[in-house]
Structure 1
Amino acid sequence: MNGPEGGQSWGHNWEAAVLAPFSLRDGRAPAGADEVVLDAELASRSGVTVGRPVKIAVRSSPVEFRVSGIAAPKSGDGLTRQSALFFSPEKAAELAATPGQAHAIGVLAEPGVTPGDLAEKIRDAVGTAKVTVATGVERSTVEFLDVSQTRMLLMALAGSFGGFALLIAVFVVASTLALVINQRRREFALLRAIAATPQQIRKLIGAETMLVAVVAGVLGSVLGVAVGFGLRNAFGAIGVIPPDFELAISPLPLIAALALGLGTARLAAWSASRRPSSIRPVEALGEAAVERRELGRVRLVIGCALVVAGLGGSFVPIFLNGEAALAASSSSALIIVIGLAVVSPKVVAVMTRLLAPVLVRTSRISGYLAAANSQANSRRLAAAVTPVMLAVSFALSMFYSQTTGAAARQEETVRSTTADQILSSGTGGLSPEVAEAARRIPGVAAATAVVRTEVLNTVQEQDSLRVERYAAQGLDGDQVRGTLDLGVVSGKITDLTGNTVAMSESEADWYDKKIGDEVEFYFGDGAPAKLRLVATYTRDQAFGRYVLPAALARAHTGDQLDDAVLVRQQPDADSATVTAALNGLAGRYPGLTVAPGTSVAAPGGGQQQAQFYVNLVAVGVILGYVVISVANTLVMSTAQRSREFALLRLIGTTKRQVVRMMRFEALATVGVAAVLGTVVAGVPLVLLNLGLRGTPLPSGPITVFAGIIAGAILLGLVSLGLATRVALRSKPIEAIGLRE
């Protein structure tokens, strides 16, 4: 029995009905072990009435009950997130398989007692070390586990997403400010020449920046609420968060976002104001006339050091795998981008020297002018190249690192699985009886239950304790041979019984554990574990860092069910006969499906796919911001050239030739940015694929790469094209007299 809209059905003890509250509409409360009360919506959908027998799949095995009553909440016939079934207290405890324990205790306040006061009294009575007392909206995290997981996911996403956004904002804002300040270099030169101090120049730039930032920050904070609702809808549509998960609107995030935005703008203003404020008055007007070409030695050293550090970090996936490799690859690409941004005028100058002959040969007039402009104004071009390069490299790195990680896990899982058939369930988990039943079928050589779980480790960090979660699996050690190949390098996987554990080779080396040593960690339910190490293996992308005996892993999961059963046939067995017998188990265990071993999916596929969608949406938001900034930068760099365009037209250049010149410059700008962005993302991605998959080619559709490059080219052509046409509207004789 599925819940509303394909959701879940949950069983409860009848005493818990008062918490909804549910009340009987028909019949009576369940008294015997074979009686059940259904909510009215489920009963109506199933066509069941009081006194009728029903079969309910309990731990994937159908059990017959008699409907003793039908209940409903105060409003409606049922709940929106689940279908509710109520058993007698004894039967509910038996089905929960946790004698003497309860998932939660609901407490109702007497009339006149507020929930907050009652919560404080409960905390004082039992102590916060033993229980967590939730009231108000916090009760949802206890009743619905997906709500608690969603809040943790959103908090983690906000942290990583916010960090990336702030870092990108610093570079984009700094690049834009550098371009604006470069356009005003004559003004600052004049101020320095008439005795303005460096501090006054810095204060002027800082005050102007903060004034604009306050206005933009207020508008952005308000629009951010709309973006938040859009993200909630997007995450709900792809199944990352519950569809009914609501956002809590508070002024604190808006204030924090505004403060961070102002801090980012102030940092960017400080960085951009260093040069115009430190130049000597006697040099100011001379430098303002011609663009300063050389870079400071400190800037060159910092930029080169960052590029070298990023390239060094790109080699991490050769030695590590899993999430650490993915994080190192993405971080390395970002560090390289930062390094190239610092020395971008030098890099762009080299690229334009290589590109200039091509432009000249392409067009004798417009191409020559575009090449000359690009070579003479490398700083202006660098300010336009940097954000485009950032957008291209960021998009490529984030997308293809995710597809590469998923492909690596899937490929290793397929290589590691030697079973002939896989038993799974379309309605949830499998009863532990399924593996036993499969082993009794003639022609079956081995059948191991697979229990996917996680283990917890704690890491002491100064004054705090950090909890790390690792994927783990439970397997039947004596049944693994012939169904799975873990890549065992030491010990025996057949010894995986009782209180034992197998660890990945890298994890064992990290904790300096040898065969026979005691390994301490926590099970997924928080229970402490002290297990003896019996084997180490290499294929941890397919099996996680820890492998436990199936019975031990099952005992520490909430439903105590198996996720799958891997079956290996005897060499002389008839495959059709064995498959037919396995399919016959579906009559005893509803929802059971039989699939060939080659169709195995990597563990945590649903979670990884959800994470991929989350990253994709987050990257889309960041790229949207970068695209707007890129367009703004390109338009600004073109709008300041109205006098240049007027001069070209007065000396005989036609409007069409000027437009063609700007098209060539746009192609040069975007071309340099696309090449640099591709190389920046490509080096870490190639090394990531070599480390995880043994091939240099990233996994994923090439159409995404083509779309990103085409989007960058289109953005450059449209932005510069529109700005050029606006700048050419004025008559040359009028534009030449305009103030710069």
Structure 2
Amino acid sequence: MLTLALSTLRTRWVSFLGSFAALFLGTALIATTGQVLASTTGTPDRAPQRYAAAPVVVVPDGRITVHGRQGATRAPLAEPRGLAAGLAARFPGAVVDRVFPARLSGGPPAVGRPWSAARTAPQRITEGRAPAGSREIAVSTSARAAGAGAAVGDRVGVVTADGITRYTVVGVTTAGPQGTVFFSDARAATLSPRIDALALWQPAGRVRAALGDRADGARVLTGPDRALPDPTRAADDRARNDAATIAGIAGGFAAFVAAFVVSSTFAFAVSQRRREFALLRTVGATRRQVRRMVHAEAWCLAVVAAALGALAGPAATRPVLDRLIGLGAAPAWTVPSDSVVPSLVAFPTGVLVALLGAAAAARRAGRVTAAEALREAAVESRAMTPARWVLGAAALGTALTGMAVTAVGDPASAANNKTAMPNVMLLVAAAGLLAPVAVRPVTRLFAAPLERLRGATGTLVSASVRASARQTAMTAAPVLVTVGLAAALLGGAATGDSAKAAMRTEPVRADYLVLPDAGSDLDRQLVRRLEELPGVEVATAAPSSLYTLEGDTVLIRRPVEAVDPERLPAAVHVPLSAGSFADLDDHSVVASPTWGVGLGDRLRVWRADGSRATLTVVGLLSVDSPADAYTTRAHAFSALPTVAYVKLRAGTSPSAVEAALRTVTAGHNAHAVTRAAWASGLGTDGRPAARVGLLAVLAIILAYTTIALVNTVLMATADRAPERRALRLLGARRAQILRFVAAEALLVTGIGTVLAGATAAVALAGVWISLVRIAGPLGISLPWATVTAVAAGCALLAVLASAGAALLADRPARG
């Protein structure tokens, strides 16, 4: 059987070219994504930046530790605690570092630090001198506004947590790990009394001995650990996780689409070779031998394609990482891994995908009987087998069950790619399995316009497609995958963005919102001036966190909004399922149902700075609440507001308020917008990693299905050569035959597009039902231009491939 399989591959290499390419690309992509995953997890942390020149750094323990039934559980603190005030006195010569919000008016994001801390990076003076007076500053080149800057001698406004103060620029420094405004040490201590770090130039052992056993809540950092306080640390960790998530999703889709393409190709090949298998049965081949031959073909194809893909995949790691880094979805310092494990995993995975894809085709080939196949007409006797019905119904039922469970149990996750993608893949698989049932009804939809074509082309095309429903479904499968997944994934993402925007905008009653520029918060001086404006109600919200101990074992960090409960209801509607927002005070909380608490419960929590408190639950939020919980400002500590809602009182002039808002926000690195303008901008600032991951998946789909579409069209066109020769004998001209081929390709593409539309409609309906429960009345968003372009591309590709194959196959023999 192996010899026969090799002979078959040599004589029918065109039929298996698409499967070979899909397996090669699939295995290569699995190896590449595995290598990207190994690179993101195996790359050492970035070298220290802020304290690169200091051999030892003492920082506060930025973790909260809670002892539960199974021992201590820890989590990072939302708001840092400073070092003990007397700790610096133990280390003469130490640099006392303070890091606090400070940004030039109109300048890029930056922080404030004492001048003595400049040596820790180090950052050196390039112009002027170091600041000495209380109204003098030095700025790093990265803290100055592009084009305008802040030259030595300029008087500039600096926005800190307290507000705007004018300073004289006396020096300019080299760029550091982030934009920095340097103050004199005394001025920095006034602006931020909290000590964030001590930088030392002495042996670490001596430092630890001086701290003692308890260490006063401090940690001693040396070597690579000095990178822990770096400003990019959190962003680097997010980027590392994003890259790993993208690699995992892309690898999973690569395996799925490769299996889909291989199974479709082998099923199509088996359908074309029924008489060949019947001849083998006639000369004595058993069903098992026929199945073994198909498996042997798949094995031979898979071993070569998977081996080449596993070897070639790692070569693409560096370009892929560069692209992810450029899109902000991977750390800039990631180094490609030289591990061979991804390739060793990719090879058997590729072989397994091929064997699984060919399994159904092998079973079908084994069922062919000599007498049945030899007397079989061109018209298929049965479009669906019982096994196909069962598998299709099972895939459809599983997908619908998954969507129902999401809608009932966790509707907010419906727009999450990790939740939606498995259901979409199951729906596409179900549509592919059940497609033969829909071929004849869908063909009748197109029959009327087709039959209006000149001559008998339309009648022949529709009759041909109806006569071979199973082959038509196989040929349309790549279109179904391409258009269906593109519409479902893009539409689901767009609908999810619309739902999130609706949840954020619907409760807002304010006429204007004051928002900080990127990288800033609203300073206290600005908030006071806003609250003093006549004719308006102003409410602010500051993000904070509370920690709860779940099951007395796991510490959970929960986001909360710190607000003034007397001011907020005038500007924002707070949807409650129980309780009263008016009862919120410094000793209570309004929580989401996800907290698993009831009205009146006494809840043990740890606040953002790690301090312990007991809060009473006075309200339970509805599922459509944009916030997870509300507390009073007493629990915000050093966190500044990130939004101010401005509601006009009756009779107040909007134009006067707009002018006042422009005046008040000037220089504070903040701006005021109308509610309508703010709402229209929502949904466009989603996480880049999610978009990159979605685009990566779509790129995989397009690459694979392009191969599959061309391959199946070539196979189908070559198989129909006798029909075209018969048409030539009946007097059909070459142009008429090409028109027949093109019309058939367009009809098959149209069938695939209709099936894709039905699949996407079911998927989007499931997303919509879930999101309506939390966001209220909502429309389904679909990027029609993109989906139409994908469908048109499939049609053009099918027409060109079929016409080209017909021209090549029907060339008259020379001589």
Paired residue type of 1:425: P
Q: Aligned ranges for residues 468-547 of structure 1 at < 5 Å?
A: 472-504=560-592, 506-507=593-594, 511=596, 513-519=597-603, 531-538=615-622, 540=624, 543-547=626-630
- Equivalent in 121, 124, 128 of residue 20 of structure 1: 121
Instruction: Indicate if the aligned counterparts of 1:393 and 1:681 stay in contact, CA closer than 8 A.
Output: yes
The answer for the alignment partner of 1:582 in structure 2 is 661
Q: How high is the TM-score relative to the length of structure 2?
A: 0.73
Distance 1:547 1:396 in 2: 38
Q: 1:395 to 1:303 in 2, by over 3 A?
A: same
Q: Which of residues 3, 14, 38 is equivalent to 2:139?
A: 38
Deviation at 1:659, TM superposition (A): 1.8
> 1:205 maps to which residue?
294
Say whether 1:160 aligns with 2:249. yes
255, 271, 286: which is aligned to 1:182? 271
Is 1:78 equivalent to 2:170 in the alignment? no
Is 1:172 aligned with 2:240? no
Q: Which amino acid aligns with 1:371?
A: S
Instruction: Name the amino acid aligned to 2:575.
Output: G
2:62 corresponding residue in structure 1? none
Matched position secondary structure for 1:310: helix
Which of 137, 141, 163 is the matching residue for 1:61?
Answer: 163
Q: Give secondary structure in 2 for the equivalent of 1:608.
A: coil
- Tell whether 2:706 aligns with 1:627: yes
User: Which whole-Å deviations, capped at 9, do the CAs of 1:664-692 have from their partners, x for residues lacking one?
Assistant: 21122111111111111113324544552
CA displacement, residues 411-441 of structure 1 (integer Å, 9 cap, x when unaligned): 3433211112211222521114433332222
1:618 is aligned, of 686, 696, 700, to 696
Partner of 1:659: 738
Aligned partner of 2:797 among 687, 691, 715: 715
- Structure 1, residues 625-667: CA drift from partner, whole Å, max 9, x if none? 2223222222222223333433443354433332222222112
For residues 592-603 of structure 1, the aligned pairs below 5 Å read: 592-601=670-679
Cα distance in 2, alignment partners of residues 285 and 571 from structure 1 = 88
Deviation larger for 211-220 or 333-342: 211-220
Matched with 2:751 is: 672
Identify the residue that residue 422 of structure 1 maps to in structure 2. 513
SS in 2 for 1:677: helix
Q: Would you say the 8 A contact 2:292–2:362 is kept in 1?
A: no
Secondary structure of the 1:384 match is helix
Deviation at 1:137, TM superposition (A): 12
Gaps of 5+ in 1: 72-76, 111-124, 735-740
Is the 2:317–2:336 Cα contact (8 Å) retained in structure 1?
A: no
Q: Pairwise mapping of residues 281-430 of structure 1 onto structure 2 (< 5 A)?
A: 293=382, 295-315=384-404, 319=408, 321-324=411-414, 331-352=422-443, 355=446, 359-360=450-451, 362=453, 364-426=455-517, 428-430=520-522
- 1:572–1:25 Cα change, 3 Å: closer
Contact preservation (8 Å) 1:192, 1:284? no
Instruction: State the Cα deviation string for residues 572-603 of structure 1 (Å, max 9, x = none).
Output: 4444444443333235x522322223333499
Say if 2:482 and 2:702, in contact at 8 Å, map to a contact too: no
Letter in 1 for 2:798: G
| Aligned equivalents of 2:611, 2:469: Cα separation in 1 | 62
CA distance in structure 1 between the aligned counterparts of 2:710 and 2:272, rounded to whole angstroms: 17
Question: Which residue of the partner structure matches residue 431 of structure 1?
Answer: 523
Give the Cα separation in 2 of the matches to 1:364 and 1:149.
63
Distance 2:808 2:514 in 1: 66
State the alpha-carbon separation in 2 of the partners of residues 366 and 684 from structure 1: 36
Measured on the aligned residues, the alpha-carbon RMSD in Å equals 4.5
The equivalent of 1:443 in structure 2 is 535
The aligned residue for residue 719 of structure 2 is 640
Match of 2:110 among 2, 9, 26: 9
1:537 counterpart letter in structure 2: L
SS of the residue aligned with 2:571? coil
Query: SS where residue 181 of structure 1 aligns?
Result: helix
1:115 alignment counterpart: none
Instruction: Write the distance in 2 (CA, Å) between the matches of 1:151 and 1:372.
Output: 55
> RCO greater where, 1 or 2, for CA within 8 Å and sep 6 or more?
2
SS of the counterpart of 2:570? coil
Please say which of residues 196-205 and 340-349 is displaced more in the overlay: 196-205
Output one character per residue of 1:306-356: Cα deviation in whole Å (capped at 9) or x when no partner: 223434545567655433355566544432221122233333244346655
Corresponding residue SS for 1:416: coil
- 2-side partners of 1:628 and 1:380: how far apart? 17
Contact 1:477/1:549 (8 A) holds in 2: yes
Q: Which moved more, 1:485-494 or 1:258-267?
A: 258-267
Q: Could you tell me the TM-score, scaled by structure 1's length?
A: 0.79
Corresponding position: 1:269 with 2:358 = yes
| Paired amino acid for 1:535 | G
Displacement of 1:162:
2.3
The one-letter amino acid paired with 1:451 is A
Does residue 48 in structure 1 map to residue 135 in structure 2?
Answer: no
Residues 16, 106 of structure 1: 8 Å contact kept: no
Deviates more, 1:221-230 or 1:683-692: 221-230
Change over 3 Å in CA distance of 1:106–1:570 after alignment to 2: farther
Q: Structure 2: where are the runs of 5+ without partners?
A: 1-101, 205-213
Q: What secondary structure is seen at the aligned counterpart in 2 of 1:478?
A: coil
Alignment CA distance shift 1:92-1:152 (3 Å): farther
Cα 1:367–1:603 change in 2 (3 A) is: closer
Contact 1:480 1:494 in 2 (8 A): no
Equivalent residues in 2 for 1:215-234, closer than 5 Å: 215-217=304-306, 220=309
**Are the aligned partners of 2:598 and 2:617 in contact in 1 as well (CA < 8 Å)?**
yes
Take 1:583 and 1:550, find their aligned partners in 2: how far apart are those partners? 26
Does the 8 Å CA contact 2:523/2:668 hold for their aligned counterparts?
A: no
* Residue pair 1:348, 1:672 contacting (<8 A) in 2 also: yes
Change in CA separation of 1:697 and 1:447 when aligned onto 2, cut-off 3 Å = closer
Report the secondary structure of 1:46's partner residue. coil
The farther-off stretch of 482-491 and 136-145 is 136-145
- Once the two structures are TM-superposed, the CA of residue 401 in structure 1 deviates from its matched residue by 1.4
Task: Rate the CA distance shift 1:217–1:138 in 2: closer, same or farther, 3 A.
Answer: farther
Aligned amino acid, residue 633 of structure 1: T
Alignment check: 8 A CA contact 1:674 1:709 kept = yes
Q: 1:551 Cα deviation (Å)?
A: 4.7
Partner SS for 2:641: coil
Partner secondary structure for residue 621 of structure 1: helix
What letter is aligned with 1:450? A
Q: 1:41 to 1:596 in 2, by over 3 A?
A: closer
CA deviation profile, 1:103-154 (whole Å, cap 9, x unmatched)? x9799999xxxxxxxxxxxxxx99xx98998739987987443222111111
Q: Please report how far the alpha carbon of residue 622 of structure 1 lies from its aligned counterpart in structure 2 after TM superposition.
A: 2.4
Trace 1:65-144 onto structure 2 (pairs within 5 A). Answer: 65=167, 70-71=172-173, 77-79=174-176, 82-87=178-183, 99=194, 101-102=196-197, 135=224, 143-144=232-233
Deviations 1:490-515 (A, max 9, x none): 212233332533234x536xx2x222
- Map of 2:780 onto structure 1: 698
Instruction: Work out the CA distance in 2 between the residues paired with 1:454 and 1:614.
Output: 29
CA distance in 1, matches of 2:680, 2:545: 15
Single out whichever of 669-678 and 183-192 deviates more from structure 2.
Answer: 183-192
- 2:382 is paired with a residue whose SS is coil
